[in-house]
Structure 1
Amino acid sequence: MDRREFVASLVAGGCAGMCVDLILFPLDTIKTRLQSQQGFYKAGGFRSIYAGVPSVAIGSFPNAAAFFVTYDCTKSLFGGGRQTAAPHVAPVIHMLAASLAEVVACLIRVPTEVVKQRTQTCASSTSYQVLLATLREEGIRGLYRGYMSTVFREIPFSLVQFPLWEYLKTLWSRKQGHTVYSWQSAVCGAFAGATAAFLTTPLDVAKTRIMLAKTGTSTVSIPLVLCEVWRSRGLTGLFAGSVPRMTGISVGGFIFLGAYEKVRHTLL
């Protein structure tokens, strides 16, 4: 990967991340409140739907930029971006690239998510107040509460979304005899995102509850949280927020991956 491609991935990823996070923020707020221990209406209902948006505005560009730079560099390193890559090898490379990209991006994403979700479920506080309160009560570790649960949610998500996205693009390219257009890549991204979103909703529920929990809470591991949700709310609880999550990520996949391809191709 040369410098020109690196810069293109950096800028395209950052722009795509900003677009999708800010446009779909209200849906994310609804999903977070549906998944919270307090319940939807006690967590804020439909009030202050943009609570927590400053943390997203600050974190979305570097988060998405870090993801796509890592993803494209890994693909380039292992040859997954070449048309000549063996059909059975390419999905493995895409899975590896997506997994590494998530680990790196979560270093930026998790503090943003912690502040955002705590503000979403306590709309009377600003993002800055939540940040200060978290640092005062829990220190830097508080901002990384739920890091492993986020990684364990994002990696399975990416293991489904990105190989499926790349496969659908390849299939469409072969059928029409040339590389897919940006809007076609966006359609593939929407379908891949919706599929991955539904399958990983239980992990998202666990991640949300861990992030919203206060310091000293005993239930902080994914299996324990999932067991607790299953006992208290059953299958409905495990898939709480699945509809806004699928809707948001499907539309988000369309905007995110479509915008990424469009900006990257324009820059190159």
Structure 2
Amino acid sequence: MSGLEPGFLVALASGGCAGVSVDIVLFPLDTLKTRLQSSQGFLRAGSFRGIYSGLLPVVLGSAPTAGLFFGAYEITKKFGSEYVSHSYMPFVHMGAATVGEMTACLVRNPVEVVKQRAQTNPKLNSVAVFKETFKSEGSYGFYRGYISLLLREIPFSFIQFPIWELLKKVWSDRQSGNVNPFQSALCGATAGGISAAITTPLDVAKTRIMLAEQGSKTADGNIFYVIQDVWHTNGFKGLYAGIVPRVMWITIGGAIFFGAYEKTKNVLIKMKNQE
């Protein structure tokens, strides 16, 4: 594991850099995944046209979202590690990831709403989607699907971060030294791919809720109803719609995300120590 422990501001800046990097590079895969999961179908949702639709809110939201997550994650992990024995650290990582997600989703949810509506309606740009959402649904519209987003993100992070931390520890122990950013990136890619595959049904439900017509039962945000509805309508295939681009996106994204995070964190800490 890395021997450099970041403070809140370092984690905030490092997470912001990592979030922007991965979201810009892998945005087209996310667009294809969203269109595959849309209830209107891949072709009507835009197929391969305008695969960068919805990029603006992602660029604006990536830094604060990822920054807030890692800031909350690192502080909570540091606090928990002072009171929990080493053998129970996976539970600390789970708790830290939960706090991080609850914080980050306050920014991520509005970004997701605008992004996904722009991705499935290439005729409208992000600004137009933002205005239309606010006009028709008010501020509440930007938090449509917040609970379903948390129900997707928290289980995802419950799986991803303990695996990432465990893989780093095993690698660190075997080489008798801290993992470097490249090694951390490989650990992140593995953890991300596993987590993405397992939580795809939750992601499908979250996408359906955010894209649902206002006033429909799906738009109410009951994730269990939506999963059941997808199962009855499209079966197992429907619950795992978009799994290939999702796993690809998060596996590659995990490598970029965690690699960029560790690299930026190490650079910032070394700069701080040299002052």
Same fold (TM over 0.5): yes
Structural mapping, 1:139-150, within 5 Å: 139-150=138-149
Partner residue in 2 for 1:195: 194
Q: Give yes or no for the alignment of 1:109 onto 2:108.
A: yes
Gaps of 5+ in 1: none
Confirm or deny: 8 A CA contact 1:66 1:104 kept in the other structure.
yes
Deviation for aligned residue 1:71? 0.1
Partner of 1:52: 54
Corresponding letter in the other structure for 1:151 = L
Paired amino acid for 1:101: G
How far the C-alpha of 1:4 sits from its partner, in A, is: 6.9
Secondary structure in 2 matching 1:89: helix
Amino acid at match of 1:20: V
Aligned to 1:133: 132
Unaligned 5+ segments in structure 2 are 270-275
Residue range with higher mean Cα deviation, 9-18 or 210-219: 210-219
Taking the TM superposition and a 5 Å limit, the aligned residue runs for 1:195-214 are 195-214=194-213
What SS is found at the alignment partner of 2:87?
coil
The match for 2:16 is: 14
Residues 12, 259 of structure 1: 8 Å contact kept = yes
8 Å Cα contact 2:6/2:265 also seen in 1: no
Instruction: Note the alpha carbon deviations across 1:188-214, whole angstroms, 9 max, x for none.
Output: 000000000000000000000000012
Match of 1:91 in 2: 90
Asked if the contact 1:9/1:264 (under 8 Å) is kept, the reply is: yes
Equivalent position of 2:78 in the other structure: 76
Which residue number in structure 2 is paired with residue 161 of structure 1?
Answer: 160
Task: Name the CA distance, whole Å, in 2 between partners of 1:233 and 1:37.
Answer: 10
- 1:170 aligns with 169
TM-score calculated relative to the size of structure 1 = 0.96
For the residue of structure 1 that corresponds to 2:10, the secondary structure is helix
The equivalent of 1:239 in structure 2 is 240
Q: Which amino acid aligns with 2:21?
A: C
Q: Are the equivalent residues in 2 in contact too, given 1:98–1:158 (CA < 8 A)?
A: yes
Q: How far apart, in 2, do the equivalents of 1:248 and 1:166 lie?
A: 20
Residues 72-106 of structure 1 deviation map (CA, whole Å, 9 limit, x = unaligned): 000111127x9xx6342110000000011000000
Q: How many corresponding residue pairs? A: 263
CA contact 1:142–1:215 (8 Å) conserved in 2: no
Q: For residue 248 of structure 1, what is the aligned residue in structure 2? A: 249
Q: TM-score under structure 2 normalisation?
A: 0.94
2:180 is aligned to 181
Instruction: State which drifts further: 218-227 or 254-263.
Output: 218-227
